[in-house]
Amino acid sequence: MDLHSIRDNEHHTAFAKELLLNNNRGGYTIPSARLYPFQWNWDSGFIALGLLHIDLQKAMEEIRSLFKGQWSNGMLPHINFHHPDPNYFPGPDHWATNDIPERPSAVQTSGITQPPVIGFILARMNDFLVEKPAEWKTFLKEIFPKVVDSHRYLYENRDPHREGLVYIHHNWESGTDNSPVWDDILEGIDVSQARDVATLRRDIKNVDVAQRPTNENYKRYICLIDLFIKHRYKDAEIVKECPFLVQDILFNCMLVKSNQGLIELAEKLNFDASILVEWNNKTIKAIQQKLWDESCGFYYNYDLKNQRRIPIKISSGFMPLFAGICTKQQADQLVYHLQYSFVKNEEWMLCPSTAADEPAFNPLKYWRGPVWINLNWMLYHGLLRYEKTDLAHKIKEQSVQLMQTIGMFEYFDARPVSEGGTRAGLGADLFSWSAALYLDFLYDPKPF
Ligand code: GLC
């Protein structure tokens, strides 16, 4: 990074901190005021890391608020609706979780989960805090068993064949909501009886429709939720009927990375880590056996319902680098795809969410092409771990540069201007995890 950008950093750092504090609603932080006015699960993990660089109390509060939504079966919901807000669809009433016995009494929630990031976020926070205040130790002891419970929920309820791979049953559980990897499965859903929800949508009132999922997509998303409501969110019933059952590579890598974070912490807290070690070894083995495609040299999602891999290259396939799962040789193969399949030439920004050479690639639409900061941040750490230092630094510098020159948006066009690339930010502006990870990129205590 040159001197100019280092000088600029002071201004941008202050901006990122202010953005996070502005999005803080007292105890928790919303992803963005215009599009996402509640608390989201994996967002809160990344946000807590950003808050740590501002105020430890707020970082701990963020995670405590998230766990207020935990169900009695361990499930950590993807949204906590702490306060009412009409500007989001589907809001609390659409999830109909109020009379579900497992739901918490403290807060209304959705009925699905999101990638399990809290285990590794806690480990990262613990590393950052050189002198560990007593309140941090108390906090860890309080939260640790809850995170383990959220993993236990996944292993006991989302892995019917006890393979070590957990499934998701809604694309919103993946975090990569409208990725092309879901297209075929969603297309196959019978929507003849489905509600038309186009007029209920709030997102397209705030963001250009070209950057958001279509109404047809939304109909299918809601159809799945209606199925969960019909079965009163009982996984054992849902699994029999649900057309969407996917062993997602990103989700399972987050689980491994978080298992590892918890194992590290368990040693320090004198907790027994044996079950975590057992789960973790099984998941690593299963990812290598089932999600790695030797002929393509890439990791793919597995459609458990139709028993087939989904051979579309998306940035989730790089997450085994972050979780330290792949061999050096596999890492080389992944890097080859990153350089020659995800981008068309050196002028492109790393890393598009869908490979540029995939027919479904769309440079502007959400998870179908644009660059996302959280995936870049994980990829950066993954590449460092495999000693791909130059590429790692390129990703970090490009991420920082995008946010400094364009703003702290939700996602960005990867194409250079010479190839039609827009240098305007995409999706939501003033997006919390972008700001949070901007701070973490800059403070960058150490790779992990
Ligand atoms: C979008 C993203 C999802 C994120 C949510 C809130 O739906 O796809 O990953 O959690 O926004 O920011």
Predicted local confidence at residue 292, as pLDDT: 98
Peptide bond into 213 cis (omega under 30): no
What is the distance in A from the centroid of ligand 1 to the CA of 4?
33
**398, 423 in Cβ contact below 8 A?**
no
C-alpha distances out from residue 100 to 30, 84, 135, 229, 267, Å: 25, 19, 34, 9, 36
Residue with the nearest Cα to atom 2 of ligand 1? Answer: 175
Ligand 1 contacts CB of residue 40 (under 6 A):
yes
What is the distance in A from the centroid of ligand 1 to the CA of 177?
7
Catalytic residue among 410, 413, 429, 440: 410
What is the distance in A from the centroid of ligand 1 to the CA of 353?
13
Ligand 1 contacts CB of residue 46 (under 6 A):
no
Give the span between the Cα atoms of 420 and 414, in whole angstroms.
10
Provide the token pair at 104: 């918490």
SS3 for 446?
Answer: coil
Closest CA to 83 of 51, 113, 108, 105: 108
Ligand 1 contacts CB of residue 36 (under 6 A):
yes
Pocket test for ligand 1, best of 40, 81, 181 (most atoms within 8 A of CB): 40
The ligand 1 atom nearest the CA atom of 177: 8
Give the span between the Cα atoms of 58 and 27, in whole angstroms.
7
Provide the token pair at 435: 């700001």
The ligand 1 atom nearest the CA atom of 366: 8
Q: Are strands 108-109 and 301-303 parallel, antiparallel or unpaired?
A: unpaired
Predicted local confidence at residue 1, as pLDDT: 45
Residue with the nearest Cα to atom 7 of ligand 1? Answer: 177
Ligand 1 contacts CB of residue 37 (under 6 A):
no
Give the span between the Cα atoms of 30 and 43, in whole angstroms.
8
Provide the token pair at 231: 């079965």
Ligand 1 contacts CB of residue 43 (under 6 A):
yes
Whether residue 177 lies in the annotated active site: yes
Provide the token pair at 193: 């009886």
What is the distance in A from the centroid of ligand 1 to the CA of 40?
7
Q: Which residues contact 333 (CB under 8 A, 6 or more apart)?
A: 297, 298
Amino acid making up residue 19: L
The ligand 1 atom nearest the CA atom of 36: 6
Give the span between the Cα atoms of 127 and 447, in whole angstroms.
10
What is the distance in A from the centroid of ligand 1 to the CA of 139?
27
The ligand 1 atom nearest the CA atom of 114: 10
Ligand 1 contacts CB of residue 42 (under 6 A):
yes
C-alpha distances out from residue 358 to 179, 198, 209, 404, Å: 12, 28, 22, 29
Output the tens digit of pLDDT for each of the chain's 448 residues: 444 454 567 899 999 999 999 999 999 999 999 899 999 999 999 999 999 999 999 999 999 999 999 999 999 999 999 999 999 999 999 999 999 999 999 999 999 999 999 999 999 999 999 999 999 999 999 999 999 999 999 999 999 999 999 999 999 999 999 999 999 999 999 998 888 889 999 999 888 998 889 999 999 999 999 999 999 999 999 999 999 999 999 999 999 999 999 999 999 999 999 999 999 999 999 999 999 999 999 999 999 999 999 999 999 999 999 999 999 999 999 999 999 999 999 999 999 999 999 999 999 999 999 999 999 999 999 999 999 999 999 999 999 999 999 999 999 999 999 999 999 999 999 999 999 999 999 987 777 7
What is the distance in A from the centroid of ligand 1 to the CA of 207?
14
Residue with token string 């502007």: 364
Q: Which residues contact 209 (CB under 8 A, 6 or more apart)?
A: none
What is the distance in A from the centroid of ligand 1 to the CA of 397?
24
Q: Which residues lie across from 113 on neighbouring strands?
A: 77
Give the span between the Cα atoms of 71 and 235, in whole angstroms.
13
Predicted local confidence at residue 299, as pLDDT: 99
Residue with the nearest Cα to atom 3 of ligand 1? Answer: 175
Q: For 207-273, where are the alpha helices, taking DSSP H only?
A: 215-230, 235-241, 249-269
Ligand 1 contacts CB of residue 31 (under 6 A):
yes
The ligand 1 atom nearest the CA atom of 367: 8
The ligand 1 atom nearest the CA atom of 32: 12
**28, 80 in Cβ contact below 8 A?**
yes
Pocket test for ligand 1, best of 41, 177, 315 (most atoms within 8 A of CB): 177
Predicted local confidence at residue 8, as pLDDT: 62
Kindly report the length of the chain.
Answer: 448
Give the span between the Cα atoms of 5 and 8, in whole angstroms.
5
How many CA within 13 A on the CB side of residue 203? 18
**384, 448 in Cβ contact below 8 A?**
no
